A and B are shown apart, each in its own frame.
Chain A
Amino acid sequence: MPTVSVKRDLLFEALGQKYTDEEFDELCFEFGLELDEITSEKEILIREQGDEKAEGASDVVLYKIDVPANRYDLLCLEGLVRGLQVFKEKLEAPRYKRVSPADGGEPQRLVITEETASVRPHAVAAVLRNITFTQERYESFIELQEKLHQNICRKRTLVAIGTHDLDTISGPFTYTAKPPGEIRFKPLNQSKEYTATELMSLYKTDSHLRHYLHIIENEPLYPIIYDSNGIVLSMPPIINGDHSKISLNTKNIFIECTATDLTKAKTTLDMVVTMFSEYCEEPFTVEGAEVVYPDGRLCVYPELAYRTETLSGDFINKRVGINESAESIAQLLTRMCLRSEVSGEGDLIQVEIPPTRADVIHACDIMEDAAIAYGFNNIVRSTPRTYTIANQLPLNKLTELLRQDLAAAGFTEALTFALCSEEDIADKLRKNIAETRAVHISNPKTTEFQVARTCLLPGLLKTLAANRKMPLPLKLFEISDVVLKDETKDVGARNNRRLCAVYYNKSPGFEVIHGLLDRVMQLLDVKPGRNQGYHIQAAEDSTFFPGRCAEIFSCGKSIGHLGVLHPDVISRFELTMPCSAIDIDIEPFL
Chain B
Amino acid sequence: MADTGLLEALLRLLEKVDGGIDSQDVAADLGVDHQLIVGAVKSLQALGEVISAEQKSSKRWELTGEGREIAEQGSHEARVFNAIPDEGLPQNELMKMPSGKVGFSKAMSNKWIRLDKAHEGGPRVFKTVETIEDTVRDKLQLVQKGLSAKLEDKEKNELKKRKLLSEVTVKSYWITKGSSFSTTITKQETELTPEMIASGSWKEKKFKPYNFEAMGVAPDCGHLHPLMKVRTQFRQIFLEMGFTEMPTNNFIESSFWNFDSLFQPQQHPARDQHDTFFISDPALAHEFPQDYLERVKQVHSEGGYGSQGYKYDWKIEEAQKNLLRTHTTAVSARMLYKLAQQEKFTPVKYFSIDRVFRNETLDATHLAEFHQIEGVVADYGLTLGNLMGILHQFFTKLGITKLRFKPAYNPYTEPSMEVFSYHEGLKKWVEVGNSGVFRPEMLLPMGLPEGVSVIAWGLSLERPTMIKYGINNIRELVGHKVNLQMVYDSPICRLDS
Question: Interface residues, chain A, CB within 8 Å of chain B?
Answer: 1, 29, 31-32, 34, 68-71, 154, 157-158, 261-264, 318-322, 361-365, 367-368, 371-372, 376-377, 379-384, 386-393, 395-396, 400, 403-404, 406-419, 439-445, 448-449, 452, 459-460, 462-463, 465-467, 470, 474-475, 477, 481, 483, 485, 487, 489-495, 497
Residues of chain B lying within 8 A (CB to CB) of residue A408:
221-222
A387 vs B348: C-alpha distance when bound (angstroms): 8
Question: Assuming A69-B409, A440-B279, is B480 touching A414 (CB within 8 A)?
Answer: yes
Taking the closest CB of chain A, its distance from the CB of B370, in whole angstroms, is 11
Most buried by A among B377, B392, B406, B453: B406
Question: Assuming A364-B439, A392-B245, A439-B281, is B368 touching A384 (CB within 8 A)?
Answer: no
- Chain B residues 242-299 with CB under 8 Å of chain A are 242-247, 249-254, 267, 269, 273, 277-288
Taking the closest CB of chain B, its distance from the CB of A589, in whole angstroms, is 15
Residues of chain A lying within 8 A (CB to CB) of residue B322:
491-493
Residues of chain A lying within 8 A (CB to CB) of residue B254:
490-491
Question: Assuming A154-B267, A466-B482, A490-B287, is B251 touching A481 (CB within 8 A)?
Answer: yes
Judge whether B15 is part of the interface by a CB distance below 8 angstroms.
no
The 13 listed contacts between A and B (C-beta, < 8 Å) are: A70-B409, A263-B311, A320-B385, A372-B407, A376-B404, A381-B385, A390-B243, A415-B479, A442-B283, A466-B482, A470-B484, A485-B282, A491-B322
Judge whether B355 is part of the interface by a CB distance below 8 angstroms.
yes
Docked-complex contact A441 and B280, CB < 8 angstroms = yes
Docked-complex contact B222 and A412, CB < 8 angstroms = yes
The segment from B52-60, B63-71, B94-102, B232-240 found at the interface with A is B232-240
Judge whether B227 is part of the interface by a CB distance below 8 angstroms.
yes
The segment from B24-32, B137-145, B188-196, B302-310 found at the interface with A is B302-310
Most buried by A among B222, B241, B347, B482: B222
Question: Assuming A485-B281, A491-B252, A491-B322, is B224 touching A403 (CB within 8 A)?
Answer: yes
Docked-complex contact A388 and B385, CB < 8 angstroms = no
A463 vs B385: C-alpha distance when bound (angstroms): 46
Docked-complex contact B269 and A154, CB < 8 angstroms = yes
Judge whether B408 is part of the interface by a CB distance below 8 angstroms.
yes
Docked-complex contact B281 and A440, CB < 8 angstroms = yes
Q: Residue of A at shortest CB range from B308? A: A361
Judge whether B369 is part of the interface by a CB distance below 8 angstroms.
yes
Judge whether B185 is part of the interface by a CB distance below 8 angstroms.
no
Residues of chain A lying within 8 A (CB to CB) of residue B310:
263, 361
Docked-complex contact B223 and A412, CB < 8 angstroms = yes
Taking the closest CB of chain A, its distance from the CB of B273, in whole angstroms, is 5
Judge whether B46 is part of the interface by a CB distance below 8 angstroms.
no
Judge whether B13 is part of the interface by a CB distance below 8 angstroms.
no
Residues of chain B lying within 8 A (CB to CB) of residue A442:
277-280, 283
Task: List 5 other contacts, CB 8 Å, given A384-B382, A407-B221, A442-B280.
Answer: A264-B312, A372-B407, A390-B239, A417-B480, A452-B251
Residues of chain A lying within 8 A (CB to CB) of residue B309:
361
Residues of chain B lying within 8 A (CB to CB) of residue A368:
407, 414-416
Residues of chain B lying within 8 A (CB to CB) of residue A396:
235, 245
- Chain B residues 383-422 with CB under 8 Å of chain A are 383-386, 388-390, 392-393, 404-409, 411, 414-417
Docked-complex contact B228 and A415, CB < 8 angstroms = yes
A367 vs B384: C-alpha distance when bound (angstroms): 10
A384 vs B457: C-alpha distance when bound (angstroms): 15
Most buried by A among B241, B283, B386: B386
A320 vs B359: C-alpha distance when bound (angstroms): 36
Docked-complex contact B277 and A449, CB < 8 angstroms = yes
A396 vs B352: C-alpha distance when bound (angstroms): 10
Q: Residue of B at shortest CB range from A395? A: B249
Residues of chain A lying within 8 A (CB to CB) of residue B286:
490, 492
Question: Interface residues, chain B, CB within 8 Å of chain A?
Answer: 220-225, 227-228, 232, 235, 238-239, 241-247, 249-254, 267, 269, 273, 277-288, 303, 305-312, 322, 324, 347-349, 355, 357, 359, 367-369, 377, 379, 381-386, 388-390, 392-393, 404-409, 411, 414-417, 437, 439-441, 453, 455, 477-485, 487-488
Taking the closest CB of chain A, its distance from the CB of B484, in whole angstroms, is 4
Question: Assuming A400-B235, A440-B280, is B441 touching A413 (CB within 8 A)?
Answer: no
Docked-complex contact B381 and A318, CB < 8 angstroms = yes
Q: Residue of B at shortest CB range from A368? A: B415
Docked-complex contact A413 and B228, CB < 8 angstroms = yes
Residues of chain A lying within 8 A (CB to CB) of residue B349:
386, 388, 390
Residues of chain B lying within 8 A (CB to CB) of residue A34:
406
Question: Assuming A417-B479, A483-B251, is B282 touching A410 (CB within 8 A)?
Answer: no
Q: Residue of B at shortest CB range from A69? A: B409
Taking the closest CB of chain A, its distance from the CB of B324, in whole angstroms, is 7
Docked-complex contact B308 and A493, CB < 8 angstroms = no
Contact of B347 among A32, A322, A387, A416 (CB under 8 A): A387
Question: Assuming A384-B377, A415-B228, is B249 touching A319 (CB within 8 A)?
Answer: no
Docked-complex contact A158 and B246, CB < 8 angstroms = no
A71 vs B441: C-alpha distance when bound (angstroms): 19
A441 vs B407: C-alpha distance when bound (angstroms): 35
Docked-complex contact B227 and A371, CB < 8 angstroms = no
Contact of B480 among A463, A470, A497 (CB under 8 A): A463
A538 vs B316: C-alpha distance when bound (angstroms): 49
Residues of chain B lying within 8 A (CB to CB) of residue A403:
224, 228
Residues of chain B lying within 8 A (CB to CB) of residue A481:
249, 251, 355
Docked-complex contact A449 and B368, CB < 8 angstroms = yes
Q: Residue of B at shortest CB range from A413? A: B225
A445 vs B253: C-alpha distance when bound (angstroms): 20
Residues of chain A lying within 8 A (CB to CB) of residue B247:
393, 395
Residues of chain A lying within 8 A (CB to CB) of residue B392:
381
Docked-complex contact A418 and B224, CB < 8 angstroms = no
Question: Assuming A389-B242, A440-B281, A475-B222, is B250 touching A412 (CB within 8 A)?
Answer: no
Docked-complex contact A413 and B347, CB < 8 angstroms = no
Residues of chain A lying within 8 A (CB to CB) of residue B251:
418, 452, 481, 483, 495
Taking the closest CB of chain A, its distance from the CB of B330, in whole angstroms, is 10
Residues of chain A lying within 8 A (CB to CB) of residue B253:
491
Question: Assuming A417-B479, A481-B249, is B223 touching A445 (CB within 8 A)?
Answer: no
Q: Residue of A at shortest CB range from B414? A: A364
A540 vs B324: C-alpha distance when bound (angstroms): 33
Residues of chain A lying within 8 A (CB to CB) of residue B416:
368
Q: Residue of B at shortest CB range from A449? A: B368
Residues of chain B lying within 8 A (CB to CB) of residue A158:
267
Most buried by B among A157, A384, A396, A443: A384
Taking the closest CB of chain B, its distance from the CB of A85, in whole angstroms, is 18
Docked-complex contact A68 and B347, CB < 8 angstroms = no
Question: Assuming A412-B484, A491-B250, is B389 touching A383 (CB within 8 A)?
Answer: yes
Question: Assuming A154-B267, A368-B407, A403-B224, is B312 touching A387 (CB within 8 A)?
Answer: no
Contact of A263 among B241, B312, B404, B477 (CB under 8 A): B312
Residues of chain A lying within 8 A (CB to CB) of residue B414:
362, 364-365, 367-368
Residues of chain B lying within 8 A (CB to CB) of residue A459:
479-480
A439 vs B377: C-alpha distance when bound (angstroms): 33
- 9 nearest CB pairs, A to B: A321-B385, A321-B383, A32-B407, A492-B282, A68-B409, A462-B480, A442-B280, A368-B415, A407-B222
